[in-house]
Amino acid sequence: MPRIAPRPVAVSAIRRPHSRREGTREESGRGDRAWLGPLLFLFAVKGVLLAAMVGPFTGHDEVDHFFYVARLAEGNGLGVVGEVDLPPEAEPFAAYVADYPTNAEVIHPPLYHALLVPLYAIGSPAGIEDRLLLLRLFSVAAGVGVVWLAASTARLLFPGDVLFRVGVPLFVAFQPQLSFEAAIVNHDVLLILLVSLVLHLTLGGLRDGFPARRQWAIGLVGAAGLWTKASFGLVLPVVGLGLLLVWWDGGGTWRELIRPIGRALGLPLLLVAPWFLRSWLLYGDPTGAARLRLIPEYGDQARSYGEMVSSASFWRQLLEDFWGNFGWRQVPFDPDGFRAVWVVWLVALAGILVGAARRGLPSNRGARRPPQWTVFQRRGVGLLALSVALLCFGVLYVGTIQFTQARFAFPAMIGFATLTLLGVAGWLPVRARPAALPLLVVLLTGLNVVVALRYLLPFYYGPGGGAAILP
C-alpha cells in the first residue's frame, strides 16, 4: 500500500517537538481532560441558551435553510433557485430572507439539510418554532465538535505549551459570532466542523505521515465538505501543501505522489462532481455564483477586489461582523464594545512581531529566550495561517459576487485562534503563561455574558416588548 511518509532522515527533520514518549501527564494530553470536559459542557450549555435566546428565524439565512430541510423532509426534491418559493409559514419572517419569497439557499449542496431531515421528522408533530429549536441543537452539537477539534489541534501542534493548548479552544469556544453560528440553523456550522476536521487530519499527517487510511479519510471528509458548501474547496490547497511537504521530505518520486493526491484531493472532487455538473447545467457555473449575483440589493453590493481592499469602511464592517453583529447585523455591539475588543485583539496579534523579535534579539539568549519551534510546528502554523488567508480570500471573492461577510472566514477559526494565541505568547514569558489561563477564561466568559445581557437579550425581550422587527 503506497504511503507518503517521511524517510528516516526526514523524520528527524520533522521530529515531534515534545514527543508523547517523553511527555509529562500534561504533555500527553490526558491532563487536558480535566479542563476540556468542563469547557465542552459550558459551550454546550451556552449554545442551548443561545438557541433559546435568539429570536426564531432571525439567524442569517435561517428561514431559507429551515425550509430547505423541510422541503427535503417532505420529499419535494432539491429545487432550483428562482423556481422554489418559501411556503406561507415563512411570510412572518420575510424581513429575514435575502430574496423573499425565493429560497436562495437551495443553490447550495444538500448534505447539511439532508442530515437534518431525521431531526425535522422527529419534531414534525410540534410547532414550527419547536422544530426550529430542535434543528438548532444540531448546530450546538457541531459547535462542540469544533471546540474539541480546536483543543486537539492545539495539543497536536504545541503539546508542551499550555497557553496554546488551553487558549486556542477557549478562543474558539467564546468567539461570540462562532457561538452564534453554532446556535442557529445554517450549513456554515457543519462547514466549520468539516474544515476543522480536515485541517486536523492534515496537521496529523504533517507530523506522522500520510498513510493510505489518512488519505482516504481526508478525501471522504473533503467530499462531505464540498457537499455541504462549495467554499470548502478553499481549504484543499492546504491539504495539498501538507501532502507535498511530507512527500518532499520523504524524497519520493512524482509517481508516488499521484495516488495520495488522488485520494485526498481527487476523490472529493470526483464525488461532488454530480452536484457541480447540476449547478452548471442549471445556473451556468459549477457553484451557482452567477445566479447569486442576480439577487436584488445583494448582487448590487458586489465590488472589485481593489475597491474592497482599499476601503476602510469595508474593513471596519468585516471587523464588526467578525466579532459582534448578530443576526443579519441587527444586533451589533456598541462602538465602545467593538473598539475594546479590537484593541485587545490587535495588541494580541502585535505580539506575533514581539515574539519574533524576542526570539531574534542577540541579547535574548539562554534561559530568557522563548523555546524554539520545530520544523513541524513552523509548518503547522504556516498551514493554519494559509487556511486563514485562503478563507479571507473567500470573503473577498464572495464580495465580487454579492454582499459579503466575515463569517465566511469562520471555517479557519482554529487558525485565527492559533495566530491570536501566538501573539499573546509573544507578550508573555513562558513562566507566566499558566497564570494567564484562568484570567483568559474569566475575560472571555465576561465578554459573552455582557454581550448577552446588554445587547442580545434586550433586542428580543423586554417588559415593553422586544424584537422590534418581528411581527
Binding site for other proteins (CB under 8 A): 25-26, 31-32, 34-35, 37-39, 41-42, 45-46, 48-49, 52-53, 162, 166, 312-313, 316, 329-332, 334-336, 339, 431, 433-435, 437-438, 441-442, 445-446, 449-450, 453-455, 457-469
Q: Kindly tell me which of 251 and 446 has the beta carbon lying closer to other proteins.
A: 446
Q: Kindly tell me which of 75 and 463 has the beta carbon lying closer to other proteins.
A: 463
- Least gap, CB of 233 to other proteins (angstroms): 33
Cβ atoms of 40 and 251 closer than 8 Å: no
- Least gap, CB of 66 to other proteins (angstroms): 18
Q: Kindly tell me which of 114 and 444 has the beta carbon lying closer to other proteins.
A: 444
The Cα–Cα gap between 388 and 103 comes to 30
- Least gap, CB of 296 to other proteins (angstroms): 15
Q: Kindly tell me which of 306 and 463 has the beta carbon lying closer to other proteins.
A: 463
Give which of 204, 325, 201, 323 is closest to 268, Cα–Cα.
Answer: 201
- Least gap, CB of 57 to other proteins (angstroms): 14
- Least gap, CB of 211 to other proteins (angstroms): 33
The Cα–Cα gap between 388 and 375 comes to 20
* The residue to which cell 429551515 is assigned: 66
- Least gap, CB of 113 to other proteins (angstroms): 26
Q: Which three cell numbers stand for residue 409?
A: 472566514
- Least gap, CB of 382 to other proteins (angstroms): 26
Q: Kindly tell me which of 258 and 309 has the beta carbon lying closer to other proteins.
A: 309
Q: Kindly tell me which of 214 and 407 has the beta carbon lying closer to other proteins.
A: 407
Q: Kindly tell me which of 270 and 432 has the beta carbon lying closer to other proteins.
A: 432
